[in-house]
Chains A and B, each alone.
Chain A
Amino acid sequence: MNWLNAYSEELERPQWSAETVAGKAGNAYREPNATGPRVLLNLVLTEADIFQRDSNYVFAVYWSPPPSAVVSTARFKANFYGTTPNRSRLQERIEKQLLTSIGHAARVTRCSDPRCVRAYPASLDEFDAKGSTYCADCQAGMERFLGRSLPSGKGRE
């Protein structure tokens, strides 16, 4: 009956509204003063499982202005699914989501290339299958947002 235990844990798992978290982040945001840094983007990281409206879950939400995103690591972890922990996979997933969310918050147009890290995944399988780097268009969009080139060989293959 192990699968029953696993599913009961799955059903009992708490979830937080991504919009509520985003609202709290918005309220906490303070415009930096003249002597402060130039904030390109506000990023909120959480280990909580988040959802938006009637979705089962979301990996992240983003909004602008100011460019902001909430990224959840909950669905990237092995313990969420009772599968084998793999830290390098977890790190890769988080990195892919960060590159995706930062692109969205930077208002770079949505990408239709499944090889691009910014392609929309409908499941974790699709998430793992998509690429881990920006396509040429997304890289150009990110460079426009940042006002500089991405580190050589890092942003895109």
Chain B
Amino acid sequence: MRYIGISPFLIWLAAAPLIYAQVSTPPSAATSDGASATDGKDTAERMAKAITHAIAAGEDVLALERRDNIAASKQASVVHHTGTLLASAGRDQEALPWLQAAVRLTPHRFDWQWSMAQMQNKLGNSQKAKSLAALVYERAEDGDLISQSAALLGKKPQWTVPPMADTKPGEPVICLTTAGPVQPWLLHAAARSIETRLGVPVRLTGITLDLGKPDRTNAESVTAQARQQIIWDSAFTRQVMKELNIPGEEAATDEDVVTLLATLMLEAGQKKPP
């Protein structure tokens, strides 16, 4: 009998302590040398140093691309970062090949395609810029990218849904309300879907419900799922719990549950369960 299923979920859960450790570690690039951020010369020197480092790291990735483009694509952000650093330093001509290399490694990053479009536009290559903007406009899911690329293309999309006032007395309608911010194109797409498929007009109530504070984080739901996956009444689980000083199913904290599941996974890989 399989003791515990090694699903992606469990692997994910086992990594949770590592994840939290990583999240709580301050970024290594923190300004700890006491230098004033307003010191222009110092900022320029830092920028130059950052660009030198980025170019070195990026060149490593591009060298890797020649041998192993799969491995290189996992580090495409290094290449894109080099391009954006050069662009922010005003070195546009130098930035372009880096931005191009980044989208060559990760063509489905539409935010990076948009960086390229902007750079091409800045350099006066308007046809190339429009071609990239068209790609972003057609494929991106992010509302800001869609709006910005539309503007570069000279399009003015009408993402509006008529208000409730635009109805006749007694006319059957479906009312649409938003909870929290919703991208206009999404609202428009939803309304159009309903009208096309059901033949019923959709009207916007104009009400945006305040979501308030979140009721939980996904970590809570994950630990709740872990509680359900652990076989609490098995001798093996009880033995591991004893070794970890975890009191019992009811008393185990979320942290205990994550530790227990991670340990069970490791133990299950090394020992045969009783």
Contacts and interface: CB of A to CB of B under 8 A. Distances in A.
B29 to A, nearest CB: 16
Interface stretch (B38-46, B122-130, B181-189, B234-242): B181-189
B177 to A, nearest CB: 5
Interface residues of B, number: 64
A15 B221 contact: yes
Interface secondary structure of B, over-half rule: mixed
A146 B200 CA distance: 8
Interface residues of A, number: 66
Nearest to B219: A11
B217 A15 contact: yes
B2 interface: no
A56 B168 contact: no
Contact of A7 (B12, B172, B210): B12
B18 A40 contact: no
A90 interface: yes
Interface in B196-213: 196-200, 202-203, 205, 207, 209-212
A91 B139 CA distance: 11
Contacts of B209: 21, 24-25, 28, 44, 46
Nearest to B140: A85
B175 A39 contact: yes
B74 interface: yes
Interface secondary structure of A, over-half rule: mixed
Contacts of A57: 221
Q: Among the interface residues A47, A49, A142, which one has the most CB atoms of the partner chain B within 10 A?
A: A47
B227 to A, nearest CB: 10
A38 B171 contact: yes
Interface of B: 12, 15-16, 18-20, 22-23, 74, 108, 110, 138-142, 146, 164, 167-183, 186-187, 189-190, 193-194, 196-200, 202-203, 205, 207, 209-212, 214-219, 221-222, 224-225
